[in-house]
Structure 1
Amino acid sequence: MRYVGTVSRGIRLPVVTQGDDIIKIITENVIKASESERDRFEIRDRDVIGVTESLVARSQGNYVALRDISADIAAKFPKGDVAIFGPILSRNRFHQLLRGMAAGIKGKIHIILTYPSDEVGNQTIEPMNYYLNSGRLSGECFGEDEYYRVFGEYRHPFTGVDYVQLYKSIAPERISVHFSNNPLSALKFSKQAVVASIHARALHRDILEKGGAEKVVTLDQICAAPVREGAGYNPDYGVLGSNYTNDESVKLFPRGCGEFVRKLQAEMKSRTGRDVEVLVYGDGAFKDPVCGIWELADPVVSPGFTDGLAGLPKEIKFKYVADNAGDKDPAQAVEEAIRAKDELDRFGHSTLGTTPRRLTDLIGSLCDLTSGSGDKGTPVVYIQGYFDSYLDD
């Protein structure tokens, strides 16, 4: 009898640098891991290989210098002031981008932060302080002087950073910080805008364009093509999903992930005879229950995946069926429900509580939690049994 269901393993790899053949490296190390004396496992059909986006981007050398960001912004906004709406509060995500943009903008820069938190949950104002004192605000859009007068200084609980001062310090004479949850507030300061939000970027861009903005640029349009020969770029996401590399550059989201996953799938088939699924993953789509931060600062959980990972899972709610078996044996009721689940109504009682999330979001989040972001050295995750049910032995 089988006693183990889904298993997620972090696979250790050597340090990968630009130009390395990661298809070969990943395949060889997955096979070595499966054959190792200490942690042996059998490679099976429908196993899943998750590859962190940073590994793919590093092998591609997909980096941009801040001067590349500056050049692209200067071309898009050759003159005048620019408003930047909705950036997240992050040193490794947005601070570097702002440094690059500030160097390319000729006029004044108006940064508009949302409150009481940014798009992914980093707080601009401590919630109790906000609810007790928000009635003292002069309106929905207010400046940094009013912010400090009403709420006082706020430092991020984990980083200890006052992000208002951090962002302003990039160019104190040209940068002003404002607070608003309405994208149209940007038009009070300039008819030119950068939409710096991640998941709501299309909505915010449409609002500004319909509201009378003359030029709106989203982060996925910055460095969407190489600014110079040899510079990194991403045609789908631009600088969205970028991460701090050093003081003068950032790593972009990887390019061509669809082609990459198909090649790795084919290589595994050639070497093992097994049909595995593959995805590239970034941030998991989960929210930290303590700090309230939603971890998904990347534009998507998975920028590339094989066909078998498309769509939503179709599952029954095991405990609901067992609790409502009536005269039947609960085990028999569960078995019958699983066998008939392809005919179930997704909105029926037997599926209540099975949240309709995409497979790539679920599996990518599992990969992110397994690999972590520290020193585990496991940028590849091998998952088994994810598509099995209680009936599979």
Structure 2
Amino acid sequence: MTRIPDYVGVSAFGIKMGVIVPGTDIVGMVCEALARCNADGLLDDGDTACITESVVARAQNNYVTIQDIAADVRRKLKLEEDSRIGVVFPILSRNRFSLILKGIAAAVPKGEVVVQLSYPADEVGNQILPYDFAEKRGKTNGDIITLEEIGEERFLHPITNVDYIALYEEVIKQTGARARVFLCNDPLKIMDYKPDGVIVANIHARYRTAQKFKENGYNCITLQDICNEGEAWSEWGLLGSNLSSGDRLKLAPREADKVADAVQAWVKKELGKHIEVIVYGDGAYKDPSTGIYELADPQPAFGMTKGLRGRYREGLKYKYLVDKMLEEGIEQERIEEELKAMKRDSYEKDCFETEGTTPRKVEDLMASLADLVSGSADAGTPLILIKGFLG
């Protein structure tokens, strides 16, 4: 193929690969795809190869069952079959949480599971109530909203039309356990129901939520503490897991940094190119139509090469600078020359030249770009090659 012209800026290409199954040499398969890119003139120094976490975890055979989850929950919270367990602030997702909840409930098949939901939405924007529901009833964040107060005509998810209260109750009852669901934004309210142990189920605020329980001496773990050791495991525990077939859950990939490093080392040795590598999950994208924040993973990148860690994308605010130069009467040709010269200089983060350009982690931006390009449907491109991003 012809090399990409110099006038093309940042670009991202979805690279097709074959089917990945448990036991696949994922590093070898990615390197083979990058070798094809190199042979066609598509691979350059400074590119970034982004591998979706899903195929890495599948190649690692990183699957657990609901019984694996149940056993780990019982052991770590020291529960009996008839214990009462509390689950605080789970997200509303069939793919991301329904099977986790089933595993938790299976830990207490003769007991009870108390689920506390936040309102009017979960932490990633999935609505459980109309936004003005609490206000109209004089409820504050610390007040409990019961199912009786909500009534039988429940609010359905605005996209999927799922009644998540009914769904989560049914999932619990399938295991034999009793189900209790209520809504409240104060996590410690669940202690009114006297659970024998609590699982903090939110994702991005899990440390702050768990700390409130630990400061009060309560028996508490987070989703990250479950399935983070054993035959199938991830340092992320159940965070970043996805529904698989049957009663199996696919965990996030384990030790993703090592996968990224191995690909980078092979490309350097065999192809003579220095690239960076990311193992990515959900992009940090908020849907402007629904308000749903698509980042159900703990972070956009599960692993990366060292050259990306702690690196930020920042630069000149071109819109401001062009307007400023035009106002000063500078001709168009000279503006272009001035901008090229300014790019070679360094500037403080709080100076006028960079005003309005918020520094962001390159790993978050590139993982988000890769996720938008690859999607989660039938694109068949688990490898994304990003060019021109790192300068």
Q: State TM-score, norm by structure 2.
A: 0.91
Within 1, Cα distance between the matches of 2:194 and 2:324? 61
Contact in 2 for aligned 1:109/1:176 (Cα 8 Å) = yes
Cα 1:27–1:182 shift into 2, 3 Å? same
CA contact (8 A) 2:88 2:200 kept: yes
Return structure 1 stretches of 4+ with deviation > 3 angstroms. 128-131, 136-139
Is residue 2:381 matched to residue 1:384?
A: no
Quick check: 1:86 aligned with 2:89?
Answer: yes
Question: Which residue number in structure 1 is paired with residue 31 of structure 2?
Answer: 27
Q: Does 1:323 align with 2:323?
A: yes
Give the number of aligned pairs: 373
Aligned pairs for 1:171-190 (under 5 A) are 171-172=172-173, 174-190=178-194
Q: Kindly indicate whether the alpha-carbon contact (under 8 Å) linking 1:193 and 1:213 is maintained by their aligned counterparts in 2.
A: no
Map of 1:306-317 to 2, 5 A cutoff?
Answer: 306-310=305-309, 311-317=311-317
Q: Deviations over 1:268-298 (max 9, x none)?
A: 1122100011010000011011111101000
CA displacement at 1:30 relative to structure 2: 2.3
CA deviations 1:337-385 (Å, max 9, x no partner) are: 2111x3x111222212222221100000000001000001000000111
* Whole-Å separation in 2 of the counterparts to 1:335 and 1:122: 45
- Secondary structure of the residue aligned to 1:308 is coil
Q: Distance in 1 between matches of 2:251 and 2:360?
A: 26
Partner of 1:144: 147
The question of 1:103 aligning with 2:110 is answered no
Q: What letter matches 2:224 in structure 1?
A: D
CA contact (8 A) 2:92 2:122 kept: yes
CA contact (8 A) 1:137 1:146 kept: no
Matched, 1:10 2:14: yes
Distance 1:253 1:320 in 2: 42
- SS of the residue 2:295 aligns to: coil
Equivalent residue number for residue 251 of structure 1: 250
Instruction: Quote how far apart the aligned CAs of 1:34 are.
Output: 4.6
Q: Deviations over 1:305-361 (max 9, x none)?
A: 112212211311111111112354322331232111x3x111222212222221100
What are the ranges of 5 or more consecutive residues in structure 2 without an aligned counterpart? none
Partner of residue 353 from structure 2, selected from 350, 354, 377: 350
Question: Residues of 1 paired with 2:8 and 2:172: CA distance?
Answer: 57
Sort the Cα spacing of 1:137 and 1:268 in 2 relative to 1 into closer, same or farther, 3 A: closer
Whether 2:157 is the aligned partner of 1:153: answer no
Structure 1 position 136, deviation (Å)? 6.5
Report what 1:73 is aligned to: 73
What is the alpha-carbon distance in structure 2 between the residues aligned to residue 5 and residue 31 of structure 1?
23
Q: Distance in 2 between matches of 1:296 and 1:108?
A: 30
Structure 1 residues 14 and 200: CA distance shift in structure 2, 3 A? same
Q: Secondary structure at the match of 1:135?
A: coil
Corresponding position: 1:166 with 2:167: yes
Instruction: Give the Cα–Cα distance (whole angstroms) in 1 for the partners of residues 217 and 210 of structure 2.
Output: 9
Cα–Cα, structure 1 residues 56 and 171, in superposed 2: closer, same or farther, change >3 Å? closer
Report if the CA contact (8 A) 2:38-2:271 is conserved.
no
Distance apart, 1:23 and its partner CA: 1.4
The structural deviation recorded for 1:41 is 3.7
SS of aligned partner of 1:146? helix
Cα 1:20–1:178 change in 2 (3 A) is same
Q: Which residue of 2 aligns with 1:391?
A: none
Q: What is the distance in 1 between the residues matched to 2:370 and 2:286?
A: 15
**Who is 1:359 aligned against?**
362
Partner Cα separation in structure 1 for residue 298 and residue 142 of structure 2: 31
CA RMSD of aligned residues (A): 1.8
Distance 2:229 2:273 in 1: 37
| Residue aligning to 1:232 | 232
The one-character-per-residue Cα deviations of 1:71-100 (angstroms, maximum 9, x if unpaired) are 111112323312111000000110000000
When residues 278 and 137 of structure 1 are mapped into structure 2, their CA distance, relative to the original with a 3 A threshold, is closer
Query: 1:320 is aligned with what amino acid?
Result: Y
Native 8 Å contact 2:210 2:222 kept in 1:
yes
The AA in structure 2 aligned to 1:127 is Y
User: Is the CA contact 2:283–2:371 (under 8 Å) kept in the aligned structure 1?
Assistant: yes
| Correspondence for 2:303 | 304
Quick one: which of 207, 210, 219 aligns to 1:202? Answer: 207
Is there any run of 5+ residues in structure 1 with no aligned partner, and where? 389-393
Deviation of the 1:33 alpha carbon: 3.8
CA contact (8 A) 1:284 1:369 kept: yes
Structure 1, 299-308 or 184-193: larger mean CA deviation? 184-193
Distance 1:199 1:354, change over 3 A: same
AA matched with 1:314: E
Match of 2:53 in 1: 53
> Residue 142 of structure 1: CA displacement?
2.2
